[in-house]
Structures are given as structure tokens and as C-alpha cells.
């Protein structure tokens, strides 16, 4: 089961009315989408996901509510193109990033370092690049770069060197093999505080799915798709995604630097967007759902 994060808060911030047209970029198991669909009986929901399993389950849930929805089975990098084909009346867009609990739980997807599986980590099971390619084919410098930038891993160099050394003997095939190599390449003390494979697995997953570039493009596009008064709500789960969101929101909601000292800002330079919220889950939610501990919700509104 996937327990939705910041569910009530994100739905409230979407400011739904019964005719709203909403885009859920990350349908998953329809936790958010079900709530949205219930509250827009005369509106419409477009929901993206690139995971066929998630779509199958989500569809079962949504069709029990009503039929005012369409599931678009593609990467949300195609958001603008796909939505422009269908409507120009979007009131709200939601991103709830990352992987769902069932994706983590399905051993064969290879997302989890707790479960033994082939190195895969593709959200879209039809794409070519897998975690196996990254771990076994990328050169040392590329691995170090990924572990440092996408994992913010302090021992990136040690870990990358250990991977390269081990794969010369035989290819690294499984999540547990990789996890073991990582564990043995960091100091004992570091291992005690947290699982040393967590950050490296996150880094490989981001690389395999090109998550940061895809998100940045889709988020910028989402801002152009909402109409006046419309909102974009973003739930992120790590600092890299959050930083992208924070920077883009800041850019579009501020007066250009060179004009900030003017006594009166000309209308055309006034920002088109205003920041509405930046919140974290409550203590109660974190206690109930450990996965929510690193989540953050940012909301922006188009004002003209
Ligand atoms: C955290 S889950 C969403 C959970 C959902 N909000 C719920 O409450 O049930 C994220 C979902 O987004 C999908 N996803 C992640 N990145 C995507 C992308 N670039 N394009 C399409 N779907 C994506 C994943 O496959 C996953 O099903």
C-alpha cells in the first residue's frame, strides 16, 4: 500500500471547485487523484504516470468515483505537449515526486537496497538505461560525479573506486552485491549512523530516470500551463528536487534584480506568480508515515 504524503494539505492548496481542471503529474496509486476526482464532479482530471503497474491499480480506483479523467501513460517531461493537445484551461497541477511504496516493495524493480534483485531502477520499464549499465559501464569519474551530486555522498570516491575494482572481477549484478560493496568501502563509524547504500541508490535512481532534468523542464512548463489564479503544488523528497523547485519559484515570483530599487515597478515587470506555501508534514504525519519525514510541499499561484 502507498500512503500518500501531505495529502490534505496539497489538496487544500489546489483550491478545487466542482469544475476545476487538474493535472496530476504523478498518479501513482491515485491517493491524491482519488481525492481530487471526488471534489471536481463537473471538472476533469488528467493524470500522468510512466509505470504500467501503477496505472492499472489507479485506474481501478478512479473508475469507481466517476469517468471524468484520462490517464496519460508517459513521462511527465511530455506534460506541455500532451496537455496542449487536450486543453488550455488548467486550474491546478500537482507533482508528488519519487517512487511509490509498491515500487520500492516490488523486489524485481531493484529500487531497494534491502531486497535482492537485478540492478534495474527504471520507472519506465521500456527504457534502455538500467542501474546495471550505470554501475558496470560508467567510468570512475562519472560514477564519482553522480554519487557526489545526486547522492551528496561524502565517500563518493571510495565507493566509486570499490565498484570499479569489483566489476573488474565480475559484473555487479544485484542490489545486495552493490549494497555490500558500498558497505565495505566506507568507514565503520559512518555505517553505524545510517545505511551507507541509501544515498548511492538514490543517486543511481536519479541518473537512470534522469529525474532532475525531467523535473526541471516539467515544472517550468507547468507554470505556463496554469491559467490566472491557478496553482502548482510540488511535493519533493530530497534537497536536490527541493532546490530546483525553490529556485524556479523564486525566479518567477520576484521582480528582476536590476529593477528592484525602482520606486514604482512598471506593470509589465511585476512578477506573474506569487508563492503561497512552503510547508513540511506535521509531527503526527511523520510518526504515522516514516516516508514523509523528508517531504516538503511548495505552492505557487499565477497572478496574471
Ligand atoms: C510518490 S508516487 C505518487 C503517489 C500518488 N500521489 C499517490 O498518492 O498515490 C510517484 C509516482 O510518479 C511516477 N513518476 C515519477 N517520475 C515520473 C515521471 N517523470 N513521469 C511520469 N511518472 C513519474 C512514479 O512512477 C510513481 O508512480
CATH code, domain with 72: 3.40.50.150
Contact criterion met (CB below 8 Å) for 279 and 261? no
Mean pLDDT over residues 35-58, rounded?
96
Q: Which three cell numbers stand for residue 101?
A: 511504496
Same domain, 55 and 25: yes
Same domain, 192 and 273: no
Q: For ligand 1, what atom is nearest to the CA of residue 75?
A: 20
Pairing mode, strands 273-279 and 44-48:
unpaired
CA distance 12 to 128: 39
CB distance 29 to ligand 1 below 6 Å: yes
CA distance 113 to 93: 32
Provide the percentage of residues in the chain whose pLDDT is more than 70. 100
Same domain, 138 and 191: yes
Q: Whose CA is nearest to atom 27 of ligand 1?
A: 28
Residue 154: what pLDDT?
Answer: 94
Contact criterion met (CB below 8 Å) for 33 and 45? yes
Provide the percentage of residues in the chain whose pLDDT is more than 90. 83
Q: Whose CA is nearest to atom 12 of ligand 1?
A: 26
Q: Whose CA is nearest to atom 5 of ligand 1?
A: 28
Residue 2 inside a domain? The answer is no
Q: Is 185 helix (H, G, I), strand (E, B) or coil?
A: coil
Mean pLDDT over residues 171-193, rounded?
92
Residue 118: which of 177, 71, 70 has the closest Cα?
Answer: 177
Residue 36: what pLDDT?
Answer: 98
Mean pLDDT over residues 1-17, rounded?
95
Same domain, 55 and 78: yes
Same domain, 88 and 111: no
CB distance 301 to ligand 1 below 6 Å: no
Q: Of how many residues is the chain composed?
A: 304
Residue 73: what pLDDT?
Answer: 96
For residue 193, pLDDT over 80 is answered with no
Residue 192: what pLDDT?
Answer: 78
What is the CA(105)–ligand 1 centre distance, in A?
15
Q: How many domains does the chain have?
A: 2
Residue 1: what pLDDT?
Answer: 76
For residue 42, pLDDT over 90 is answered with yes
Same domain, 85 and 215: yes
What is the CA(33)–ligand 1 centre distance, in A?
11
CB distance 10 to ligand 1 below 6 Å: no
Same domain, 81 and 47: yes
Of the residues 209, 242, 258, which one is the last residue of a structural domain? 209
Q: For ligand 1, what atom is nearest to the CA of residue 54?
A: 27
CB distance 214 to ligand 1 below 6 Å: yes
Where helices occur in the chain by DSSP H, the ranges are 7-13, 31-39, 52-63, 79-86, 101-105, 131-137, 140-149, 156-169, 175-184, 188-193, 197-209, 211-225, 239-253, 283-288
Parent domain of 149 = 107-209
Q: For ligand 1, what atom is nearest to the CA of residue 76?
A: 20
Residue 25: which of 236, 177, 184 has the closest Cα?
Answer: 236
CB distance 122 to ligand 1 below 6 Å: no
CB distance 98 to ligand 1 below 6 Å: yes
Q: Is 125 helix (H, G, I), strand (E, B) or coil?
A: coil
Q: Calculate the average pLDDT of the chain.
A: 94
Q: What is the DSSP letter of 122?
A: -
Q: Whose CA is nearest to atom 4 of ligand 1?
A: 28
Q: Whose CA is nearest to atom 7 of ligand 1?
A: 31
Q: Which CATH number goes with the domain that contains 194?
A: 1.10.150.170
Q: For ligand 1, what atom is nearest to the CA of residue 24?
A: 6
Residue 1 inside a domain? The answer is no
Of the residues 167, 183, 209, which one is the last residue of a structural domain? 209
Same domain, 179 and 198: yes
Residue 163: what pLDDT?
Answer: 98
The predicted-structure confidence for 91-129, as pLDDT tens digits, reads as follows: 999 999 988 887 777 777 878 888 889 999 998 888 999
- State CA 202 to chain mean position distance: 12
Sheet holding 273-279, edge to edge: 69-72, 44-48, 21-24, 90-96, 226-236, 296-302, 273-279
What is the CA(49)–ligand 1 centre distance, in A?
6
What is the CA(109)–ligand 1 centre distance, in A?
15
Residue 276: what pLDDT?
Answer: 98
Mutation test of ligand 1: which of 3, 49, 58, 234 has the most ligand atoms closer than 8 Å to its C-beta? 49
Residue listed under C-alpha cell 543517486: 203
Amino acid at each position: 500500500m502507498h500512503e500518500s504524503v501531505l495529502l490534505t494539505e496539497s489538496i487544500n492548496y489546489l483550491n478545487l471547485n466542482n469544475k476545476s481542471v487538474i493535472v496530476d503529474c504523478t498518479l501513482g496509486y491515485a491517493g491524491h487523484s482519488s481525492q481530487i476526482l471526488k471534489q471536481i464532479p463537473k471538472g476533469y482530471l488528467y493524470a500522468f504516470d510512466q509505470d504500467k503497474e501503477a496505472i492499472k491499480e489507479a485506474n481501478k480506483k478512479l473508475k469507481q468515483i466517476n469517468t471524468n479523467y484520462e490517464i496519460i501513460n508517459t513521462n511527465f517531461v511530455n506534460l506541455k505537449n500532451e496537455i496542449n493537445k487536450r486543453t488550455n484551461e488548467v486550474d491546478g497541477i500537482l507533482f508528488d515526486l519519487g517512487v511509490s511504496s509498491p515500487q520500492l516493495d516490488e523486489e524485481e524493480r531493484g529500487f531497494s537496497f534491502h531486497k535482492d534483485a537485478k540492478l534495474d531502477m527504471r520507472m519506465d520499464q521500456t527504457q534502455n538505461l538500467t542501474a546495471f549499465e550505470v554501475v558496470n559501464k560508467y567510468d570512475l569519474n562519472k560514477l564519482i560525479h553522480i554519487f557526489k551530486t545526486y547522492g551528496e555522498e561524502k565517500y563518493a570516491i571510495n565507493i566509486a573506486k570499490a565498484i570499479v575494482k569489483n566489476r573488474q572481477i565480475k559484473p555487479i549484478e544485484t542490489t545486495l552485491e552493490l549494497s555490500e560493496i558500498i558497505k565495505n568501502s566506507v568507514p565503520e563509524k559512518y555505517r553505524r549512523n545510517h545505511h551507507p547504500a541509501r544515498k548511492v541508490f538514490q543517486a543511481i535512481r536519479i541518473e537512470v530516470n534522469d529525474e532532475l532534468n525531467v523535473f526541471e523542464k516539467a515544472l517550468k512548463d507547468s507554470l505556463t500551463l496554469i491559467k490566472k489564479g491557478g496553482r502548482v503544488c510540488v511535493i519533493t523528497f530530497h534537497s536536490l528536487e527541493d532546490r530546483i523547485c525553490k529556485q524556479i519559484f523564486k525566479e518567477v515570483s520576484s521582480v528582476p534584480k536590476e529593477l528592484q530599487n525602482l520606486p514604482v515597478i512598471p506593470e509589465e515587470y511585476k512578477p506573474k506568480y506569487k508563492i503561497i506555501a512552503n510547508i513540511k508534514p506535521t509531527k503526527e504525519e511523520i510518526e504515522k508515515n516514516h516516508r514523509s519525514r523528508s517531504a516538503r510541499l511548495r505552492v505557487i499561484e499565477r497572478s496574471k
